[in-house]
Structure 1
Amino acid sequence: MANHKSAIKRVRQNKKRYMRNKAYRTRLKNILKKSRMLIEAESDKETVEAQLKEAEKVIRKICSKGIIHKNKASRLISNLYQKAHRKFKQAQAS
């Protein structure tokens, strides 16, 4: 355990930041899961596009706060859009 006043404060700050970041990471996982499930299940393109825009907004916000790296954010967004595009392209071909 920390002995100095500044070290004790640092422990408090780290704990507060950890809890905040954990909430953001949980939100990220939930929005990704929801988006992927919707892409798999939904046949309505407008509904999926609306969900993807919402997911992109959340991902970019989390990235701007430094919770995830900007390249990871771009990769997650890209993968979601690619998955949706492949599904609707496949459905259109059928």
Structure 2
Amino acid sequence: MANHISSEKRARQSEVRRLRNRANMSAMKTATKKVIEAVQKKDFSNIAELLRAAQSVIAKTRKKGTIHKNNMARRISRLTAYVNKARNAQ
């Protein structure tokens, strides 16, 4: 347990940030899974909308500081490549 006032404040801040980061990561993973599931089901009718939404959520997660910019770029790049590969194979 924290003994100083400043360390108590730091513990409170860390807990709030941990919960916020957890929610952001969960939203990002959910958006990504929706795109992957649509590709696996070969449901290309709304794949562009899902991909755009997932890219937006990933970028917002980066903007909030939950992930590094290279992590964001890698996730978006791999997801887009996955969708494009599936489209071309169809």
TM over 0.5: yes
Q: State the partner residue of 1:87.
A: 86
Superposed structure 1 runs of 4+ greater than 4 Å apart: none
Q: State the shift of 1:84 in Å.
A: 1.0
| Number of matched pairs | 90
Asked which structure has the greater CA Rg, the reply is 1
Note if contact 1:39-1:84 (Cα within 8 Å) is conserved in structure 2.
yes
Question: What letter matches 1:84 in structure 2?
Answer: V
Question: What letter matches 2:17 in structure 1?
Answer: R
Report the secondary structure of 2:46's partner residue. Answer: helix
The runs of 5 or more residues in structure 1 that have no matched partner are: none
Q: State the partner residue of 1:18.
A: 18
Q: State the shift of 1:43 in Å.
A: 3.4
Q: CA RMSD in A?
A: 1.1
Q: State the partner residue of 2:48.
A: 49
CA 1:23 to 1:43, structure 2 compared with 1: closer, same or farther past 3 Å? closer
Identity, % of aligned pairs?
A: 34
Q: State the shift of 1:83 in Å.
A: 0.9
